[in-house]
Amino acid sequence: MKDEQTMTLLPARREMLNAFAKKRGDYDGVFFVAVKTTGIFCRPSCPAKPNPENVEFFGSIKECLFAGYRPCKRCHPLETNGAPPEWAAKLMARVESAPDTRLRADDLRALGVTPERARRWFQQHYGMSFAAWCRGHRLAGAFTRIRNGAKLDDAVFDSGFESHSGFRDAFNRTFGNAPGRARRDGARIVCAMIESPLGPLLAGASDAGISLLEYTDRRMLEKNLATMQKRFACAVVPGEHKLLTQLRRELAEYFAGGRDEFTVPLSPRDTPFQEKVWRELRNIPHGKTISYDELARRIAQPTAQRAVARANGMNRICILIPCHRVIGKDGSLTGYGGGLWRKRLLLELERCKRSAPVPGAASWAGQAR
């Protein structure tokens, strides 16, 4: 059963029933409709017409999946949720075009967006509230300008801060460093959402490489973000990075069946044992699988199958570090953080080489180029 906090963030049931009945696409991403009789969940604009008494509502893909529902094959809620809905795209465009302008609760309402709706969507997809996303966006820009030699006064003014002290406090909280030192040794991980045929992915990159690639509905996403921030000892902020651009291109080629290996640099960081396991995972050829026992033998620790399985499950860079290629000794798929249905489709894609059995892969790849 959903907790009270989640329930209060959803629109009223009457409003959701009305939106679903009218197939309102502007509610896509705000809530999801789960059909008890079929065991599937849909977006509000889905053409399906179940009886109202047979539906329940959830605020996130994560809740739907952990309640035992699978995604609808007609409306593809995972794919739809990967692209920001029109209202969210407009908010992000406004912040990007005028980073020195703050959007407060009244401003959001004037744009037809409730603060709760904005907070919920950004929390669900970026792991932070809309206000935090805006602050991170402003500070990320300030970070870049300072490192490129801009004067502190210019960075303060361009970032929309009214005083040096307010800017310094916010900068230090976000980046863990004083603005002046950021020119020399500052660091941050830039995160952005990437669409995929298997649902939206949250990716993170630093100048050293990709450090995060996770399905946004994964149960451990929030924990992995916190662990990554601690391990790298730097801030995690929204934005764009040249390695994220490269990652998008290579993922598009992979899902289209035209890429067997990724060349984008990786920067995983954890315990020496976990990193050893992750390095060995990258040695499993495209289209092949091995067992946990075999993986333990390959790292010269044949009795450490359980520890190997845990390290496999703690992988924070899915697909690129192919933990999906490890299966049970009896050939069963066993566990996968992104869900066994994703694991099965990834393995099918790799076995088929040049074809794309993943629903929507070919069209998505064309849009990503």
Q: What is the pLDDT of residues 237-279, one digit of tens each?
A: 777 789 999 999 999 999 988 999 999 999 988 888 999 999 9
Q: Where are the beta strands (DSSP E) in 69-153?
A: 70-71
Position 37 scores a pLDDT of 81
pLDDT at 315 over 80: yes
Q: How many CB atoms lie within 10 A of CB 338?
A: 21
How far apart CA 348 and CA 17 sit, in angstroms, is: 37
Tokens of 229: 């921030």
Residue with the larger pLDDT of the pair 13 and 367 = 13
In the predicted model, what is the mean pLDDT of the chain?
Answer: 78
Question: Do residues 235 and 189 make contact, with C-beta atoms less than 8 angstroms apart?
Answer: yes
The pLDDT value recorded for residue 46 is 92
- Between 83 and 352, the more confident residue is 352
Give per-residue pLDDT as tens, 79-118: 654 566 788 878 888 887 776 677 888 889 988 889 988 8
More confident residue, 27 or 115: 115
Q: Give residue 197's pLDDT.
A: 84
Superfamily name with CATH number, domain 86-186? Homeodomain-like (1.10.10.60)
Q: Is the pLDDT of residue 28 over 90?
A: no
Mean pLDDT along residues 21-31: 83
User: What number does CATH give the domain 4-77?
Assistant: 3.40.10.10
Query: What is the per-residue pLDDT for 355?
Result: 43
Residue 137 in this model has a pLDDT that exceeds 80: no
What stretch(es) of the chain map to CATH 1.10.10.10? Answer: 272-368
Task: Show which residues are catalytic.
Answer: 323
CATH class of 272-368: mainly alpha
List CB contacts of 348: < 8 A, sequence separation 6 or more: 357, 358
Task: Dump pLDDT digits (tens) for 33-63.
Answer: 998 888 788 999 999 989 998 898 987 776 6
pLDDT at 220: 60
Q: What is the DSSP string of 163-216?
A: -HHHHHHHHHHHHSS-HHHHHHH--EEEEEEE--TTS-EEEEEETTEEEEEEET
Query: Which residue ranges does the chain devote to CATH 3.40.10.10?
Result: 4-77
The rounded Cα 34 to chain-centroid distance in angstroms is 22
Residue 291: pLDDT band by 50, 70, 90 thresholds?
very high
Under 8 Å between Cβ of 326 and 289: yes
Contact by Cβ (8 Å): 9, 59: yes
pLDDT at 221: 61
CATH 1.10.10.60 domain extents, the chain: 86-186
pLDDT tens digit string along 160-200?
666 666 666 665 555 555 555 544 445 678 888 788 888 77
